[in-house]
Chain A
Amino acid sequence: AQSVTQPDIHITVSEGASLELRCNYSYGATPYLFWYVQSPGQGLQLLLKYFSGDTLVQGIKGFEAEFKRSQSSFNLRKPSVHWSDAAEYFCAVTLFYNQGGKLIFGQGTELSVKP
């Protein structure tokens, strides 16, 4: 079955430390890949996306993600975390050519930032 897995439910990092959030997908073909961030009680904000081309993509707020086809992964990274990065992060995938644009989301990773 097609699925998206975010193995870490909750991660705590110290302010200024580096961050990596994991995302793995299970699809027969390479999907389109997205990372969204959600602050408490808010909607989702797009951080970055991968459609094709360079497998390292840059996003907003200093985030980047790397697509690794061999590992079916699309991990999100940030070199230095700020307290304002505390939020819930969702990885999402879609296969437009047969899915009509439906996004499939992972369960999310909650990020806490220690001062």
Chain B
Amino acid sequence: DAGVTQSPTHLIKTRGQQVTLRCSPKSGHDTVSWYQQALGQGPQFIFQYYEEEERQRGNFPDRFSGHQFPNYSSELNVNALLLGDSALYLCASSFHRTGGQETQYFGPGTRLLVL
């Protein structure tokens, strides 16, 4: 049973560029969440996708956008990259349950460096 997978593992971009990160959820999961983890910090919630729609969003600017596909995989897009966007980007998947009690399982992350 494959867990959550993310690609690429590492990425180097320059300021002003755009980047797309990809995530495939764990088998049987239908919900994908994205987090940003700066060095030495805990992960910060970016947004969550369920049924191909953004279900909730954290305090991130519109430069951060996403998409969920019919097969439940997801992309995170960041436009106009800033140096401060350098971080580990984590994808987590879960199975939607009415009333809550969802458990999120994380992928290995994509390390983004903006120069």
Find B41's partner among A32, A44, A51, A107 (CB 8 Å cutoff). Answer: A107
A43 touches B108 (CB 8 A): yes
Separation of A106 and B42 alpha carbons in the complex (Å): 6
B86-106 Cβ-contact flags toward A at 8 Å (1 or 0): 000010101000011111111
Separation of A99 and B90 alpha carbons in the complex (Å): 19
- Choose among A49, A99, A103 the residue with the greatest number of B CB atoms under 10 Å from its CB: A103
Separation of A36 and B59 alpha carbons in the complex (Å): 22
B61-103 Cβ-contact flags toward A at 8 Å (1 or 0): 0000000000000000000000000000010101000011111
A107 touches B106 (CB 8 A): no
Separation of A90 and B99 alpha carbons in the complex (Å): 24
- A90 (CB) vs chain B CBs: closest residue: B42
A42 interface contact, C-beta 8 A: yes
A102 touches B106 (CB 8 A): no
A46 touches B103 (CB 8 A): yes
**Given A90-B43, A108-B42, also A103-B100 (CB < 8 A):** no
B55 touches A42 (CB 8 A): no
A32 touches B43 (CB 8 A): no
B14 interface contact, C-beta 8 A: no
Query: Quick one: which of A63-91 are within 8 Å of B by CB?
Result: 90
Find A36's partner among B45, B100, B106, B108 (CB 8 Å cutoff). Answer: B106
A43 touches B106 (CB 8 A): yes
For A108, the chain B residues whose CB sits under 8 A away are 41-42
Q: Which residues of B contact A (CB under 8 A)?
A: 4, 31, 33, 35, 41-45, 48, 55-56, 58, 90, 92, 94, 99-109, 111
15 contacting pairs across A/B (C-beta < 8 A): A4-B42, A32-B100, A32-B101, A43-B109, A44-B90, A44-B106, A46-B105, A96-B102, A97-B99, A99-B56, A101-B56, A101-B100, A103-B35, A105-B42, A105-B44
Q: Which residues of A contact B (CB under 8 A)?
A: 4, 32, 34, 36, 41-46, 49, 51, 90, 92, 94, 96-97, 99-108
